[in-house]
Amino acid sequence: MAYAYLFKYIIIGDTGVGKSCLLLQFTDKRFQPVHDLTIGVEFGARMITIDGKQIKLQIWDTAGQEAFRSITRSYYRGAAGALLVYDITRRETFNHLTTWLEDARQHSNSNMVIMLIGNKSDLESRREVKKEEGEAFAREHGLVFMETSAKTAANVEEAFINTAKEIYEKIQEGVFDINNEANGIKIGPQHSAVGGASGAGGAGAGGAAGGGCC
Amino acid sequence: MFRSRSWFGGAWGRPKNPHSLERLKYLHNILCKNTTVSENNRGTLVESLRCIAEILIWGDQNDSSVFDFFLEKNMLSYFLKIMRQKCGGSSYVCVQLLQTLNILFENIRNETSLYYLLSNNHVNSIIVHKFDFSDEEVMAYYISFLKTLSLKLNNHTIHFFYNEHTKDFPLYTEAIKFFNHSESMVRIAVRTLTLNVYRVQDASMLRFIRDRTAAPYFSNLVWFIGKHILELDTCVRNDADHQSQQKLDDLVAEHLDHLHYINDILCLNIPDLNDVLTEHLLHKLLIPLYIYSLTSDSTRRPTPSPYNRDHIQSIEAITRNLEAILKGKNAEVSPTRITFPRQRIESDDESKPSVSCVVALFLLSQVFLIITHGPIVHALAWIILQSDISVFEDGATSILEMYISNAKSSVKLEFSKPQLSLEKALENTSGYERDYTTPEYSGSKTFGLEDTDQSSCDLDPELVSTSLPSTSQMSESSSVAHDSTEDLVTQIHFMKSGASLKENMPDSPLPDSGIESSSSKTTSELNNITDEEKQKLLGVATTSSSDRVITLENILDRENREIEKRPFLKTILDSLDCNENDYKALFALCLLFALINNKGVNTELLDTLLCPELDSNKEISVARESSISQNETTSTQDHTSTPTHSRKSMQSFNALLISKLMTIANLSCKPASKVRLVTLELSVTLVRIAMQGASGVAGARHIAFAEGLRGRAAALARNFYKCDDIFLDMFEDEYCEMSKRPLNVEWLCMDAAILLPPTRTPMSGIAFAKRLPSGEMERARRAIRSFFLIRDLYMKLTGKQETQLPLTNPAPFVQVGDVLDLNDSDLISCDIIQKDDTWHHRFLAVDNIQIILVEPDKQRLGWGVAKLVGSLQDLEIQGDKEDPRCLHLTIHKPRVGASGALPRTILLRAKFKFDDHIRSMAAKQRLTKGRTKSRQKKMQQIGRLLEVSGISAPTLVPRHRPLFSRPGLTAIRRSTGGDADDAERRLRRPSAHMLKDGVVVYRERTTSRESSVSRSSSTHGSRDGSPRARSEEIPLEDIRRNASFATCMPSTSVAQAQPSTSTQLPKPTVSAETSFISGEPRPKRKGIVETI
Ligand SMILES: Nc1nc2c(ncn2[C@@H]2O[C@H](COP(=O)(O)OP(=O)(O)OP(=O)(O)O)[C@@H](O)[C@H]2O)c(=O)[nH]1
Ligand SMILES: [Mg+2]
């Protein structure tokens, strides 16, 4: 499937904040509010359009790596964008943000776009972290902020797409070295100088697991 | 439910409830009807697969019959059928299939459901299926699937993936084939998976991993790491102009990733695995590539080399000999009898890969910073510190045995490409092209599983086991597979005689080009000593030591001679030479630091560096012992030193190390030195460790060194004292910068920028400490920072407490909220207008060191509440072009105590509007003078630190003049004695009292230092008795008065005896100026002030 750019994302945050659910919600929209069933997955890809350009997002969940330093290190480095997620119903997940951010800043390339996400906004009654607190944290650390719900899909699209937009802008500004794939950005087949029809693979099939046909 | 989407357009009369057994039956039906994937049914299939995942998860949690049906109908086999079709758009379907499996395995909570899913081996068939991995999406979903499965591994589930009887573990063997995939996320997933597998700790499985896969996997891993660093080396060599820093960054980060990965494996503490990994790392990478390269520059470079011909030969001999030792451990085969075939080595450069010494030092530093696994780091440390010429001369065959637990080692000591690619080595575990009758595999059979075989996964274990070579050490020309059981001796002989062997042999002629001597004068001098001379010197050493008159020169002499026998340590110590630049030195320092601080390195080994010369120790200890160990020392020198030898026999290089480090420190005290700050900081850190040795206490001689050094550093900094307007700011900023960012060697070694030759220009983007100063300003900063570093060394060695840094203002400080007696003070009324047009009315008061904005206290006339307190020193004052009544002030937070080491923070930036231009001018003058004076005071403190002549006695300098100055009282302080800081501390007595409304009230006290804000327990009663400070007439007068302080000192000592109550103090007269400035234009406030 041809694309202009491919952006690699990672999702980080404490366990149970809903990373896997957000990922699946975004890449496969159809897991919408069906019965209390929230399903997650640790990898997904989806095509979006920004500025008339097809952009493929690949999202890699970091689940299960926490124990190994080598893994977290490299994960950060290979990503162009990161979703830093906390759970608005559990304050400790918010308190840990600083640690996550330090880690991210230390290991990632300096241009990585970080989006702060307060998830489970559907659980208003159990809220422990005020929206304003999230906003303040984001402001203080120069992040973009959003509250989402992987369950109701509220703001999920926006979170991923806004991050992509910011990366895209950075590319336009020439901040990202797009020829260096280690930055988590890949130029699509039609952009690359080589121009091979390599990426086509599945005979122009739709966005694979991506949303689409409904 | 009502919101759920209409997934199928409602066309096929499917059951309404998306989560029901009926629905699954319906989907099953669809799969049955669409066994062949085509353009037409693709979409339908994808939808069905998606729904199946969802229903199964729902069923897992709600209705067990769903799962029963799924298993009963063997629905996973449909998945396999779909997968195996090659048709248009199959990758589209495959991707969904993999994602469905991902969802399934990740979300299933019910253990039994999971077991059922895994039980019929379909999953293994899916794992071994050869998807179209050229499709990056398929690749990504596939590897995620494997990773997800690996997260499900535990002592029970492992048996579904690892078949003990058939010795088959496709999940692992398929995954590691992608260990070097071009896509970083894929590589990471593979690494995650391997770590997840190893930590299951199933004995049988681990045995399989070790016996069948460890050697090929680790040898390939190690080979790729090596290739990587060769690339890194090329990048460094070809980038003198800092053009490809980004690429270098990546390569360095990648190398760190490798090391962290290896460390993560080692930290799982799986002995069998660690042995194999250790062996491969040491033999195939760390020794042949990293360690060899330490001495490689001499052989490779046509450029001048510090080594003469003899030296190169001996190094070659040693490395080669080490190889022999590491290769075979047959103790009976003495290396002296191992005769290396003579061979021309014209092709040396191409055949024996190596990296530049700089890169080798850098990489070894990283190794020692990250890896703590004893057998690896200790062996490396031993080789670096201990391996000496005796290895060559006497053949200590068993030297490294103790470090390599796997005695059957057949891993050749060479950085070479593994004979088989990992893919090849593991090929027989899966795939449909399973034909293993390749020449490498004698007796291989055709692999069991055909493409259409649905029973699946009856992989042939025999094949896997027999066909996997245990190591991949064979030279490229060899077409014979060696396995670990092959007789070692034969193998060695084979390799020795192999015509393809490109190693250069110890006694082969050396290229003439690379031998000219170079830069390092000391080294070449030493190298010029002939063997006879060495012998003689050795004789001298023994006599001198028997005389037991051990001078530092003697020790150094001997160490300098001894170091000639330690090629690797010598390289490191020689690299510390900073005469030309400190490029290499920095890495040598990093390596020494990392080595010394590595937990895995035996501390006794470190005595080589950290323990002072044996003989000098002995002088302290019992004399009787000395002669005995003397003999020992000499005898070991004559024969061989092995790591098993007792501590006593160890030759120490402590004095040599210290002298080299001191040379760096001394060099950096020279104005035009080429020593970067980071190099100095590391040297100073190491010199302290080396001087303190094992005892933790530095000797008198060392302290004297440090003292001298401190003097030189002060002298260097003195050059810049006062010649720059902003010297004070630089001084404080540098201190702050240094405290904020203490040296972190691990971080330093992550920075690829230091791999490029040292530069001067800040435009390189390299941090100041990591480059040379550019321009006079930076030279001043460098001098200041050097002074701090060296002073710190001195303080630490002497065990003194730092009391003069950070520069602090004398206490006490008025704090926000303090209530001040401002009767008869100079107050200037003003309006403060901020950017956002907020507007406040305040009175401005000026202390010695601070600017205070007060609001009248509503309770007591003549008193005011401090609303803002800023430092005069950092105050920025600007007139207003349009309005002469206005000033623009930027007020910074005062630096108190330890906060002197924090960066300045702005408290307020605003326009101050005074009543008229005269008051504005008066304010400006007062503030400017106050600023100057407070800065002068700090400059005097610096002067004392730097031993600027004329600023020696701190007591002569009045360091604080209170808000309400009373000359007599001020003098009290001065008369308290020589130690100003002491006095300061004694005077700092907190006595705040909280009243019920939370207001802290203060009252004046007699001691001048606290007089302006001294605290009292009551709000009343002191007003009448409170002293009226004599007002400052005009700021200019302050200076005059201050200047006179020094002279009037003795006369005021009487005041000391006065009790600390304010009542006895003379009542000063009201200053006309105070009322003039503060009052008039604002009748109301004027009233308050004037009622006094
Ligand atoms: N109400 C509600 N629940 C959510 C939401 N997102 C996730 N959950 C639930 O939170 C739990 C954890 O979600 P996951 O997505 O597995 O969390 P994770 O961050 O991936 O956790 P780890 O994989 O352990 O790091 C699940 O039980 C989800 O059902 C949400 O937006 N709203
Ligand atoms: Mg998760």
Q: State pLDDT tens for residues B762-777.
A: 888 888 888 888 888 8
Cα of first residue to Cα of last residue in chain B, in angstroms, is 81
* Mutation site, B62, B63, B185, B251, interface A, largest A CB count within 10 A: B185
The Å distance, Cα B750 to ligand 2 centre, comes to 30
Q: CB distance A28–B99 less than 8 Å?
A: yes
A contact test, residue of B136, B145, B741 with most A CBs within 10 A:
B136
> Which residue's alpha carbon is nearest to atom 2 within ligand 1?
A120
Cα(A63) to centroid of ligand 2, in Å? 5
Three-state secondary structure call for residue A192:
coil
Cα A19 to ligand 1 centroid, rounded to whole Å: 6
Quick check: helix, strand or coil at residue B927?
A: helix
Of A68, A69, A208, the CB nearest to B96: A208
Q: What is the DSSP letter of B548?
A: T
CA distances from B480 to A74, B263, B439, B490, B796 (A): 38, 33, 9, 13, 62
Burial (CB count within 10 angstroms: exposed 0-12, middle 13-18, buried 19+), residue B498: middle
C-alpha distances (whole Å) from B538 to each of B395, B529, B647, B823, B958 are 21, 12, 21, 83, 62
Which of A41, A71, A205 faces B188 most closely, judged by CB atoms?
A71
The amino acid at B274: N
- Tell me which of B34 and A43 has the higher pLDDT: A43
Report the C-alpha gap between A74 and B596 in whole angstroms: 28
Q: Which residues line ligand 1 (CB under 6 A)?
A: A 15-21, 38, 40, 63, 119-120, 122-123, 149-151
Q: Is residue B514 pLDDT above 60, yes or no? A: no
CB contact burial B240-273 (16+ within 10 A = b; e otherwise): eebebbebbbbbbbbbbbbbbbbbbbbbeebebb
B77 band by pLDDT with thresholds 50, 70 and 90:
confident
Write down the pLDDT at residue B236: 87
Could you tell me if B724 and B780 are in contact, meaning their C-beta atoms sit under 8 angstroms apart? yes
Give one DSSP letter per residue of B956-1000, joined into a string: GS-----SS--HHHHHHHHTT-S-HHHHHHHH------B-TTS-B
- List, in order, residues 6 or more apart from B892 with CB less than 8 Å away: B870, B871, B874, B875, B904, B905, B906, B907
Q: How far apart are CA B221 and CA B176, in angstroms?
A: 10
Contact across the interface for B250 and A180, Cβ inside 8 Å: yes
- Each residue of B672-681: pLDDT tens digit? 888 999 999 9
Q: How far is A46 from chain B (nearest CA, A)?
A: 10
Higher pLDDT, B864 or B319: B864
CA distance A177 to A185: 9
When pLDDT is cut at 50, 70 and 90, the band that residue B1003 belongs to is: very low
Short-list B414, B450, B411, CA closest to B430: B450
Kindly report the nearest CA distance between residue A137 and chain B, in angstroms.
20
Please tell me the distance from the alpha carbon of residue A38 to that of residue B718, in angstroms, as a whole number.
69
Confidence category of residue B811, pLDDT binned at 50, 70, 90: low
Exposure b/e, B991-1016, CB count within 10 A at least 16 = b? eeeeeeeeebbbbbbbbbbbbbbbbb
DSSP-based three-state secondary structure for B450: coil
pLDDT value for B29: 85
Give the model's pLDDT for residue B579. Answer: 84
Residue B643: per-residue pLDDT: 41
Q: What chain B residue is nearest to A8 in terms of C-alpha separation? A: B185
Instruction: Find the mean pLDDT for residues B193-213.
Output: 91
Q: Which of A43, A64, A203 sits opposite B140 (nearest CB)?
A: A43
The Cα B637–Cα B648 span in angstroms is 12
pLDDT of residue A23: 92
Written as six digits, the tokens of B542 are: 């023994």
Contact B260 A70 (CB under 8 A): yes
Residue A88 has pLDDT above 90, yes or no: yes
* Confidence check: pLDDT of A155 > 70: yes
Cross-chain Cβ contact B3/A199 below 8 Å:
no
- Dig out the tokens for B842 from the structure: 């305040």
What does the alpha-carbon distance between residue B107 and residue B62 come to, in Å, rounded to a whole number?
13
pLDDT at B1066 over 50: no
> Residue B1011 and residue B965: Cα distance in Å, rounded?
9
**Amino acid (one-letter) located at A87:** D
Per-residue pLDDT tens for B902-927? 777 888 889 999 999 889 999 999 89
What number of CA atoms fall less than 13 Å from residue B92's CA on the CB side? 25
Q: What is the number of the ligand closest to the CA of A21? A: 1
CA A150 to centroid of ligand 1, rounded, Å: 8
Most confident of the following: B34-43, B78-87, B251-260, B335-344? B251-260
Mutation target to probe the B interface, by most B beta carbons within 10 A, among A42, A54, A102 is A42
Instruction: Name the residue of chain A whose CA is nearest to B371's CA.
Output: A70
For the stretch B484-493, contacts whose Cβ atoms lie closer than 8 Å and that sit 24 or more positions apart, written own/partner, are B484/B215, B484/B408, B484/B410, B486/B410, B488/B327, B488/B328, B488/B329, B488/B330, B488/B408, B488/B410, B489/B328, B489/B330, B489/B333, B491/B410, B492/B324, B492/B327, B492/B328, B492/B338
User: Is A77 in Cβ contact with B137 (below 8 Å)?
Assistant: no
Q: Which residue of B has its CA nearest to A77?
A: B253
Place A138 in a pLDDT band, splitting at 50, 70 and 90.
Answer: very high
Residue B160 phi, psi (nearest 5): -75, -20
Distance from CA of A49 to the nearest CA of B (A): 18
pLDDT given at position A133: 96
For residue B885, pLDDT over 50 is answered with yes
Judged against a pLDDT cut of 80, whether residue B539 lies above it is answered with no
Cα B101 to middle of ligand 2, angstroms: 15
pLDDT band at B161 (very low <50, low <70, confident <90, very high): very high
Radius of gyration for the alpha carbons in chain A, expressed in angstroms and rounded: 17
Give the global pTM.
Answer: 0.73
Q: Candidates A38, A60, A151: which one to mutate for ligand 1, based on the most atoms within 8 Å of Cβ?
A: A38
More confident of the two residues B768 and B37: B768
Residue of A nearest to B195 (CA): A68
Per-residue pLDDT, averaged over B452-457, amounts to 34
What is the residue with the minimal CA distance to atom 15 of ligand 1? A18
B313 phi, psi to nearest 5 deg: -60, -45
- Of B961, B962, B980, B987, which is closest to residue B1043 (Cα–Cα)? B961
At residue B671, the pLDDT reads: 84
- Going by C-alpha positions, the residue among B383, B751, B760, B385 that lies closest to residue B587 is B751
Chain A residue with CA closest to B191: the answer is A71
Of B99, B107, B264, nearest to A68 by CB-CB distance is B264
Band (pLDDT 50/70/90 cuts) for residue B943 is: confident
Rounded to a whole number of angstroms, the distance from the CA of B372 to the nearest CA of chain A is: 14
Amino acid of residue B860:
R
Kindly tell me if the per-residue pLDDT of B326 is higher than 70. no
- Structure-token match 């080979």, residue found: B223
Tell me the count of A-B CB pairs closer than 8 A.
151
Tens of pLDDT, residues A96-133:
999 999 989 988 888 899 999 999 999 999 999 999 99
- pLDDT at residue B146, as a whole number: 95
Residues B881, B850: contact at Cβ < 8 Å?
A: no
The confidence score (pLDDT) of residue B532 equals: 47
In which residue are the tokens 């699509």 written?
A188
pLDDT confidence tier of residue B389, bands split at 50, 70 and 90? low
Q: State the Cα–Cα distance between residues B402 and B382, nearest whole angstrom.
A: 11
Q: Are strands A113-119 and A144-147 parallel, antiparallel or unpaired?
A: parallel
- How much is the pLDDT for B812? 60
Ligand 1 atom closest to A14 (CA):
25
Q: Which residue has the higher pLDDT, B935 or B13?
A: B935
pLDDT at B238 over 60: yes
Q: pLDDT class for A188, splitting at 50, 70, 90?
A: confident
Choice between B155 and B247, residue whose per-residue pLDDT is larger: B155
Residue B328 pLDDT exceeds 50: no
Q: What is the mean pLDDT of residues A143-162?
A: 93
Q: Running DSSP on this structure, what letter comes out for residue B818?
A: -
Confidence of residue B65 (pLDDT cuts 50, 70, 90): confident
Alpha-carbon gap, residue B624 to B113, rounded angstroms? 78
Query: Which of B5-9, B371-375, B386-390 is the least confident region?
Result: B5-9
- B134 and A198: CB-CB below 8 Å? yes
Cα of A16 from ligand 1 centre, angstroms: 5
Q: Do A201 and B137 touch (CB under 8 A)?
A: yes
Extract the tokens encoding B113.
Answer: 């459901």
Instruction: Give yes or no for residue B512 having a pLDDT over 80.
Output: no
Contacts of A42 in chain B (CB under 8 A): 102, 106, 144, 147-148
Average pLDDT, rounded, for chain B: 68
Residue predicted with more confidence, B913 or B464: B913
Q: At what angle do helices B245-267 and B184-198 cross, to 10 degrees?
A: 10
Dist CA B589 CA B778 (whole Å): 24
Q: Which of B87-91, B831-835, B1015-1019, B1046-1050 has the highest mean pLDDT?
A: B831-835
pLDDT bracket for residue B616 (50, 70, 90): very low
> Which chain A residues have a beta carbon less than 8 Å from that of B250?
180, 182
Residues of chain B with Cβ-Cβ distance to A47 below 8 Å are none
Q: Report the distance separating Cα A116 and Cα B682, nearest Å.
A: 38
Nearest CA owner, ligand 1 atom 12: A16
| Contact at CB, B43 and A213, closer than 8 angstroms | yes
| CB nearest to A71's CB, from B6, B99, B191 | B191
Q: In this structure, what token pair is assigned to residue B592?
A: 């020494």
Q: List CB contacts (< 8 A) between A68 and chain B.
A: 191-192, 195, 264
In the predicted structure, residue B464 carries a pLDDT above the cut 60: no
Please give the distance, rounded to the nearest whole angstrom, from the Cα atom of residue A39 to the centre of ligand 2: 10
Please state the atom number of ligand 1 nearest to the C-alpha of residue A15.
25
pLDDT digit string (tens) for B946-987? 888 766 544 444 444 444 433 322 222 233 333 444 434 333
- A205 and B92 within 8 Å at the Cβ level: the answer is yes
**Before B375, cis peptide (omega within 30)?**
no
pLDDT at B633: 40
d(CA B177, CA B142): 13
What residue of B is the nearest CA neighbor of A44? B141
Tell me the pLDDT tens digit for each residue of B869-884.
888 888 888 888 888 8
Give the span between the Cα atoms of B671 and B684, in whole angstroms: 18
**Highest mean pLDDT: which of B318-327, B429-438, B547-556?**
B547-556
Closest protein CA for atom 3 of ligand 1: A120
If one compares B47 and B526, the residue with the highest pLDDT of the two is: B47
What amino acid occupies position A26?
A: F
Nearest by CB to A39, from B54, B132, B196: name it. B54
User: So what's the pLDDT on residue B14?
Assistant: 58
Highest average pLDDT, of A109-118, B232-241, B430-439, comes from A109-118
Number of H helices, E strands in chain B: 46, 7
Q: Can you tell me the distance from the alpha carbon of B435 to that of A46, in angstroms, rounded to the nearest whole number?
A: 38
Q: Which residues contact A138 (CB under 8 A, 6 or more apart)?
A: A116, A144, A145
Which tens digit of pLDDT belongs to each residue from B88-137?
Answer: 566 788 888 899 899 889 888 888 888 888 888 889 999 998 888 888 89
Highest mean pLDDT among B581-590, B621-630, B811-820, B956-965: B581-590
- Provide the pLDDT confidence category of residue B719 given band limits of 50, 70 and 90: confident
Instruction: Tell me the C-alpha distance between B430 and A147, whole Å.
Output: 46
| Count of C-beta atoms within a 10 Å radius of residue B840 | 15
Under 8 Å between Cβ of B771 and B676: yes
**Of B226-240, B295-309, B599-613, the least confident:** B295-309
**Which residues on A lie below 8 Å from B257 (Cβ)?**
70, 73-74, 77
Task: Suggest the residue from A29, A70, A178, A179 to mutate for an interface test with chain B (most B CBs closer than 10 A).
Answer: A70
Instruction: Judge whether residue B498 has pLDDT over 60.
Output: no
- Give burial (CB, 10 Å; 0-12/13-18/19+) of B339: exposed
Q: How confident is the model at residue A92 (pLDDT cuts 50, 70, 90)?
A: very high
Is A64 within 8 Å of B4 when comparing Cβ atoms?
no
Look at B78 and B199; give whichever has higher pLDDT.
Answer: B199
